[in-house]
């Protein structure tokens, strides 16, 4: 379903409310920091983000509820930060260290809003139902290429498929592993494929993305038997309760690695992109940049187009070329 566009008046009202919230949060952070001016700056990692507060995990694994200065912009799960301890046992974040990667989505104004930082791996979850969309899959993979993280495809609910359906799925998506995107079969219900997922996630900061109904939450619960206990620790650290849907959280996986779960990730969608970003997002097209006769080649019907030639030779799958040309129509330039 397309998102309803906000009127200028609605945007102005939202902006005013957000500014009031930022001002209030800045005042609280300044007051808290005034009592911690003499404390040394400490390093930590943001493991929870809720409203204008975060929870920092320090170097020994303790979690500290903290405010953050509003001039830092968006502070998100996965951020490495500098913070000061306050007299009441809490903290104030005063600096965000440079991010290696940033996953963002458009806010109500179209501006890119960070929703997770320093991720190293993105898993695109598909399922028998809803019907897998190669077009949507390609959009997620473009994002992984754009931010520079490894991407893996997960076929969840594989236990619900017959052998024929499973074979049809792999026939349809067989070209993706050849492009560097492995496919892992899994089932949150039967625990099929969980060990390969654990192995793939070990040593990484991971995020699961995919359309509604593919079972991302069930998969996270299956990967984390101690998920309920982790939620209890979060509740204790924040005081917000266990089922606060606006809380973004970084979990530690039992076999190693991390998982970031966030409402922003679950409702993730692409930001705007230009044609060059789109070309770079397709590895098989990226390798052909500069080889077309015309510099501004649209790869549609121009003579001596390297992309069309590669497609004709079977080097670019027709579904991938179709999704590229479709997205190119919506590129900013």
The tens digit of pLDDT for each residue in 46-96 reads 999 988 889 999 989 899 999 887 788 889 999 999 999 888 888 999 999
Query: Is the same domain home to 317 and 193?
Result: no
Mean pLDDT, the chain, whole residue set: 84
**How do residues 92-151 score in pLDDT, each as one tens digit?**
999 999 999 999 887 767 778 899 999 999 999 999 998 999 999 999 999 999 999 999
CATH, residue 91: 2.40.50.140
**156 and 250 within one domain:** yes
Residues 309 and 247 grouped into a single domain? no
**pLDDT, tens digit (0-9, with 9 covering 90-100), for 157-180:** 999 999 999 999 999 999 999 999
The greatest distance separating any two alpha carbons of the chain, rounded to the nearest whole angstrom, comes to: 71
Domain membership flag for residue 333: no
Q: How confident is the model at residue 243 (pLDDT cuts 50, 70, 90)?
A: very low
- Which residues, 6+ apart, have CB-to-CB distance to 244 below 8 Å? 50, 238
8 falls within a domain: no
Residues 103-138: b if buried by 16+ CB within 10 A, e if exposed: bbbeeeeeeebbbbbbbbbbbbbbbbeeebebebbb
Is 33 part of any domain? Answer: no
Please give the pLDDT value at position 123.
96
Indicate whether 217 belongs to any domain. yes
198-232: pLDDT as tens digits: 999 999 999 999 888 899 888 988 888 766 545 55
User: 98, 117, 144: which is the final residue of a domain?
Assistant: 98
Sort residue 12 into left (φ over 0), alpha (ψ -120 to 50) or beta: alpha
Q: Which domain holds residue 285?
A: 275-328
Residue 229's pLDDT is what? 47
Same-domain pairing of 159 and 223:
yes
The verdict on 242 and 117 lying in the same domain is yes
| Per-residue confidence band for 262, with pLDDT thresholds at 50, 70 and 90 | confident
| Percentage of the chain lying above the pLDDT 90 cut | 52
Same domain for 169 and 55, yes or no, is no
Q: Is residue 10 part of a domain?
A: no
- The answer on 229 and 208 residing in a single domain is yes
Q: Is the dihedral of CA 118, 65, 43, 221 positive or negative?
A: negative
Is residue 309 situated within a structural domain? yes
186 and 302 fall within a common domain:
no
Strand partners, 116: 103
Are 118 and 255 in the same domain? yes
Same domain, 109 and 208: yes
Its sign, for the CA torsion 322, 323, 324, 329, is positive
* Whole-angstrom distance, CA of residue 144 vs CA of residue 93: 29
CB 253 within 8 A of CB 201: yes
Same domain, 231 and 324: no
Quick one: average pLDDT of 22-26?
Answer: 55
Q: Are 188 and 221 in contact (CB under 8 A)?
A: yes
Query: 85: which strand partners?
Result: 91
Q: What pLDDT is attached to residue 319?
A: 96
Where a domain ends, among 242, 266, 290?
Answer: 266
Please, what is the Cα angle at 106 between 105 and 107, to 5 degrees? 120
What is the reported pLDDT for 147?
Answer: 93
261 part of a folded domain: yes
> For position 259, what pLDDT does the model report?
93
User: Using CA of residue 211, residue 214, residue 218, residue 223, what is the dihedral sign?
Assistant: negative
Give how many domains the chain has, as a whole number. Answer: 3
- 3-class DSSP state for residue 117? strand
The domain spanning residue 296 has which CATH number? 1.10.40.50
Partnered with residue 252 across adjacent β-strands are 258
Calculate what percentage of the chain has a pLDDT beyond 70.
80
The pTM (predicted TM-score) of the whole model is 0.83
Instruction: Name the domain boundary from 213, 248, 266.
Output: 266
CA 263 remoteness from chain centre? 10
**DSSP secondary structure code for residue 325 in this structure:** H
Whether residue 7 is contained in a domain is answered as no
DSSP assignment of 63-97, as one string?
EEEEEE-GGG----TT-EEEEEE-TTS-EEEEEEP
Q: Are residues 258 and 208 in the same domain?
A: yes
Q: Is the pLDDT of residue 1 over 50?
A: no
């Amino acid at each position: 379903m397309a998102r309803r566009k906000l009127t200028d008046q609605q945007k102005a009202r939202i902006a005013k409310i957000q500014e009031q919230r930022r001002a209030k949060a800045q005042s609280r952070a300044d007051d808290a920091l005034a009592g911690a001016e003499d404390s040394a700056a400490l390093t930590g990692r943001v493991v929870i983000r809720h409203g204008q507060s975060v929870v920092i995990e320090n170097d020994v694994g303790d979690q500290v509820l903290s405010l953050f200065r509003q001039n830092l912009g968006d502070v998100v799960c996965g951020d490495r930060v500098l913070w000061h301890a306050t007299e009441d046992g809490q903290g104030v974040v005063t600096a965000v260290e440079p991010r290696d990667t940033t996953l963002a989505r458009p806010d109500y104004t179209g501006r890119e809003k960070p929703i997770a930082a320093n991720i190293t791996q993105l898993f695109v979850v598909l399922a028998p139902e809803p019907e897998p969309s190669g077009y949507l899959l390609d959009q997620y993979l473009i994002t992984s290429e754009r931010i520079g993280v490894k991407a893996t495809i997960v076929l969840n609910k594989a236990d619900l498929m017959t052998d024929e359906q499973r074979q049809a799925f792999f026939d349809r998506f067989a070209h993706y592993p050849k492009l560097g995107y492995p496919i892992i079969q899994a089932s949150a219900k039967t625990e099929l494929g969980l060990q390969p997922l654990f192995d793939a996630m070990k040593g990484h900061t991971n995020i699961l993305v995919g359309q509604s109904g593919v079972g991302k939450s069930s998969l996270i619960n299956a990967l984390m038997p101690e998920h309920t206990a982790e939620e209890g620790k979060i509740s204790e650290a924040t005081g917000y309760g266990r089922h606060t849907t606006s809380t973004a959280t970084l979990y530690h996986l039992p076999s190693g690695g991390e998982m970031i779960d966030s409402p922003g990730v679950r409702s993730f969608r692409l930001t705007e992109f230009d044609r060059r970003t789109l070309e770079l997002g397709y590895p098989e097209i990226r390798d052909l940049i500069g080889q077309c006769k015309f510099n501004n080649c649209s790869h549609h019907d121009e003579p001596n187009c390297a992309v069309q030639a590669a497609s004709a030779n079977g080097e670019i799958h027709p579904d991938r070329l179709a999704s590229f040309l479709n997205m190119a129509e919506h590129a900013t330039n």
